[in-house]
Amino acid sequence: MQRVKFINTAPKIRKRGVIYKFRRLKIMKKEVIIVRANDATVAKLYELVKHINDATSIRAYQSVDNECVVFPNDEDDKSFVESLLTERGFEFRVEGSLD
C-alpha cells in the first residue's frame, strides 16, 4: 500500500510576518490595555466592556476596583480601543502582558 502525499497549496506560515491567503497580518507584541473609571463612570465602562465582547473579537474583562482589562488581537484592534476610550473620556494605560 502506497502513501499518498498531499501538496499544500496554501503559503507556508512563517514565525515573523505571518502570510495567510496572500494577506500579511501585523505581528504585535502581547500588550494589554488597563482602563480605569471613577465611581460616576463605572457603569458606562461596564456597558462598554459588554459591547466590546459582544460586537468584536477583542476580549475585555471587568474587575471589582473600577477597572477593566482589554486584550487586543493586533495593532488595528489596539488603535480602535484606544480611540474609543479617548473619545469616551476614560483613563487608560498600555502595559506588556505576562506571557
Identify residue 30 by its one-letter amino acid code.
K
Read off the pTM: 0.68
pLDDT in tens, 31-42: 899 999 999 999
pLDDT in tens, 30-81: 889 999 999 999 999 999 999 999 998 899 999 888 999 999 988 888 999 9
Answer for the pair 11, 19: CB distance below 8 angstroms, yes or no: yes
